[in-house]
Amino acid sequence: MQNNTNRSFIAIVGRPNVGKSRLFNRLIGRPVSIVHDQPGVTRDIVSQDFPNFTLMDTGGIGLEPSMTSQELKEATEQQVYFAINMADLILFVVDAKDGCTLLDGTLARDLRRFDKPVFLVINKVDSQVARANLHDFFQLGFDNIFEVSAEHGTGMSALQDVLQTRFPIPETVAAEERPLSICFIGRPNVGKSSITNKLLKSDRLIVSDIPGTTRDAIALRLDYTNPQTQRRRLFELIDTAGVRTKGKISSSVEFFSVMRTERSVERTDVAILVLDAIAGVTEQDKKIAHNILEAGKPLVVVVNKWDIAYETFREKGIEGYDSFDDFGFAFEKAVAEALFYTAKAPVLFVSAKTGTAIEAILDLAQGAYARARTQISTGQVNRFFERAFEQRPPAASLGRRFKVYYALQVSSNPLTFKIFCNNPTRLQPTYKRYILNELYKAFDLYGCPVKLEFIGKEKKSPS
């Protein structure tokens, strides 16, 4: 696959554990790729857009079979060659401490076959032993050689200057449309990467039935046009590592992966919670949903593997249901009950394998984002609370009736309302939940976290 866009691409490649991800992080100025001394940590392509080029970090070529499954090894290397084909420039990273290895020589010969410019980046030049090995790399035959320490930053300015010279920022950079960021989050192996690939219409992400295949949070651009409305929208799809319970996190790499996932949720516009139709709603799913709403993010629930559920129903039937539609309605109700605190988020049944309803995720995400930015006039807010308290008054306490003096929306995304009242401590959690449910219905706020702040106040109206 060649690069047919107007954007320039730079691919960072090399054997495992030579410091590619650390170089990537140093070039972009912040930690995005996970850095660890365990080979094979980076598997998918991690990319970062700049005004003048896109930088791509790739997995190591030549993973030892003992490190991971052969299938995963091949998939990782396939992603590397995908990046090389896309690239306008290759940063070939080697390790000065190890010296020039046989694998380095093999990779150098492979890279020449692509007939693309290559910069040899000799990393970890931060000791006398490393400097003594520098002359070994001249045999690789590359003209452009940079000696750096990505960890300490030495030698980086020369490389950065050359990249900026080679790929200058256009004098007039058109203000790009801001993409709508949607983050796919869920337990391991529920199909997050498969859904992302289906939306992208490519095998851009490694998909495997081995839990934990995705380790970095991968952000990818998608230019989508709705086939019915012909409305165009730019998306940023963020595929994240599967979130397991803390007791099951078995390595520091997985710990950092989960941290990346949490950060991705914090910066996303809309969170997509992916469930497994066969497993149903687990306790871990409930915790993830709770964390999404605690972060103040609008939520869409996507139930994947619905094709498998249908095949199971067709072959064996499901006791208590005359039709698969009846089962679907019951399943949706069960999801809503299990995730009762999730702002009545919309639920969508999809199949990443067949593509069923996949693009509807984008439409629901746009709707959730728009609702989270709803602005409700103070008059509407006050009329709502007046009706809600009249329809179902809270229980009286010590002979005093609960009174609301004034209410208003103070912010959106997350939607926050302040309610000035005579005695806020009297309201029970169940009554507050009633108010929330009425708010969702009255203003179509489904899937949006809503915060209610009840504030004690004197009986006089605000001036």
> Domain containing 442 — which CATH number?
3.30.300.20
In this predicted structure, the answer to whether residue 461 has a pLDDT above a threshold of 50 is: no
- Give 290's pLDDT tier (boundaries 50, 70, 90): confident
Q: Which of 41-45, 100-104, 210-214, 246-250 has the lowest mean pLDDT?
A: 210-214
Distances (CA, A) of 45 to 148, 207, 353, 374: 22, 13, 22, 36
Instruction: Indicate whether 175 belongs to any domain.
Output: no
Tens digit of each residue's pLDDT (9 = 90 or more) over 31-53: 554 433 444 434 456 777 777 78
Picking from 82, 93, 88, 95, the residue whose alpha carbon sits closest to that of residue 27 is 93
In this predicted structure, the answer to whether residue 190 has a pLDDT above a threshold of 80 is: yes
The whole-number average pLDDT for the span 343-365 is 93
Q: Which of 179-183, 252-256, 280-284, 424-428 has the lowest mean pLDDT?
A: 252-256
Together in a domain, 449 and 326? no
Cα dihedral 58/62/63/65 (nearest 10) = 150
Q: Which of 124, 142, 166 is where one domain is finished?
A: 166
Together in a domain, 281 and 351? yes
Express as a percent the part of the chain with pLDDT over 70: 78
Together in a domain, 161 and 188? no
Cβ pair 264, 337 in contact under 8 A: no
The pLDDT value given to residue 370: 92
In this predicted structure, the answer to whether residue 285 has a pLDDT above a threshold of 80 is: yes
What is the distance between the alpha carbons of residues 240 and 260, in angstroms, rounded to a whole number? 8
The stretches of 403-453 forming alpha helices (DSSP H) are: 429-443
Distances (CA, A) of 332 to 10, 205, 325: 45, 29, 11
Instruction: Indicate whether 172 belongs to any domain.
Output: no
Cβ pair 211, 189 in contact under 8 A: yes
Residue 14 token pair: 């090399």
What is the distance between the alpha carbons of residues 455 and 390, in angstroms, rounded to a whole number? 19
Tens digit of each residue's pLDDT (9 = 90 or more) over 68-83: 445 444 544 566 777 8
The whole-number average pLDDT for the span 196-205 is 74
Together in a domain, 348 and 404? no
Q: Within 13 Å, how many C-alpha atoms sit on residue 321's CB side?
A: 16
What is the distance between the alpha carbons of residues 329 and 194, in angstroms, rounded to a whole number? 25
The pLDDT value given to residue 175: 44
Together in a domain, 368 and 389? no
Instruction: Indicate whether 171 belongs to any domain.
Output: no
The pLDDT value given to residue 260: 56
In this predicted structure, the answer to whether residue 65 has a pLDDT above a threshold of 70 is: no
Q: Higher model confidence: residue 335 or residue 205?
A: 335
Residue 409's domain comprises: 378-456
Return the SS3 of 99. coil
Radius of gyration of the chain (CA): 27
The pLDDT value given to residue 308: 92
Q: Which of 166, 196, 226 is where one domain is finished?
A: 166
Of 22-31, 98-107, 233-242, the range with the highest mean pLDDT is 98-107
The pLDDT value given to residue 341: 66
Cα dihedral 418/420/425/427 (nearest 10) = -80
What is the distance between the alpha carbons of residues 107 and 124, in angstroms, rounded to a whole number? 19
Together in a domain, 32 and 77? yes
Together in a domain, 332 and 254? yes
Tens digit of each residue's pLDDT (9 = 90 or more) over 160-170: 888 988 988 76
Tens digit of each residue's pLDDT (9 = 90 or more) over 122-141: 999 988 889 899 989 999 99
Cβ pair 414, 451 in contact under 8 A: yes
Q: Which of 215-219, 276-280, 299-303, 319-323 has the lowest mean pLDDT?
A: 215-219
Q: How high is the mean pLDDT of the chain?
A: 80
What is the distance between the alpha carbons of residues 336 and 322, in angstroms, rounded to a whole number? 22
As to burial, measured by CB atoms within 10 angstroms (0-12 exposed, 13-18 middle, 19+ buried), residue 452 is middle
Together in a domain, 323 and 398? no
Together in a domain, 420 and 363? no
The whole-number average pLDDT for the span 13-40 is 71
Of 84-98, 189-203, 247-261, 328-342, the range with the highest mean pLDDT is 84-98
Distances (CA, A) of 82 to 35, 70, 78, 167, 343: 22, 18, 6, 21, 41
Together in a domain, 65 and 107? yes
Measured at the alpha carbon of residue 375, what is the angle toward residues 371 and 379, in degrees to the nearest 5? 130
- Give 23's pLDDT tier (boundaries 50, 70, 90): very high
Cα dihedral 23/214/183/22 (nearest 10) = -10
What is the distance between the alpha carbons of residues 434 and 421, in angstroms, rounded to a whole number? 17
Report how many domains make up the chain.
Answer: 3
Q: Which of 326, 344, 372 is where one domain is finished?
A: 372
The strands making up 89-95's β-sheet, listed across from edge to edge, are 46-49, 54-57, 9-13, 89-95, 118-123, 144-147
Instruction: Indicate whether 150 belongs to any domain.
Output: yes
What is the distance between the alpha carbons of residues 423 and 399, in angstroms, rounded to a whole number? 12
Q: Which CATH number does the domain housing residue 68 bear?
A: 3.40.50.300
The pLDDT value given to residue 242: 59
Instruction: Indicate whether 3 belongs to any domain.
Output: no
Burial string for 100-131 (b: 16+ CB within 10 Å, else e) reads beebbeebbeebeeeeeebbbbbbbbbeeebe
Picking from 51, 257, 12, the residue whose alpha carbon sits closest to that of residue 150 is 12
What is the distance between the alpha carbons of residues 384 and 15, in angstroms, rounded to a whole number? 62
Residue 388 token pair: 């809600």
The crossing angle, in degrees rounded to 10, of helices 192-200 and 360-372 is 100
- Give 213's pLDDT tier (boundaries 50, 70, 90): very low
- Residue corresponding to tokens 């984002």: 369
Instruction: Indicate whether 2 belongs to any domain.
Output: no
Helix (H) or strand (E) holding 369, with range, is helix 360-372
Instruction: Indicate whether 279 belongs to any domain.
Output: yes
Picking from 342, 360, 259, 261, the residue whose alpha carbon sits closest to that of residue 304 is 360
Q: Which of 132-146, 385-399, 411-425 has the lowest mean pLDDT?
A: 385-399
Together in a domain, 218 and 356? yes
Tens digit of each residue's pLDDT (9 = 90 or more) over 239-279: 876 564 444 434 443 344 455 556 768 889 999 999 999 88
Distances (CA, A) of 414 to 299, 302, 340, 410: 11, 21, 18, 10
Together in a domain, 287 and 360? yes
Instruction: Indicate whether 245 belongs to any domain.
Output: yes
Cβ pair 79, 61 in contact under 8 A: no
Longest Cα–Cα distance of the chain, Å, equals: 91
The strands making up 180-185's β-sheet, listed across from edge to edge, are 218-225, 232-239, 180-185, 270-276, 299-304, 347-349
Cβ pair 429, 393 in contact under 8 A: no
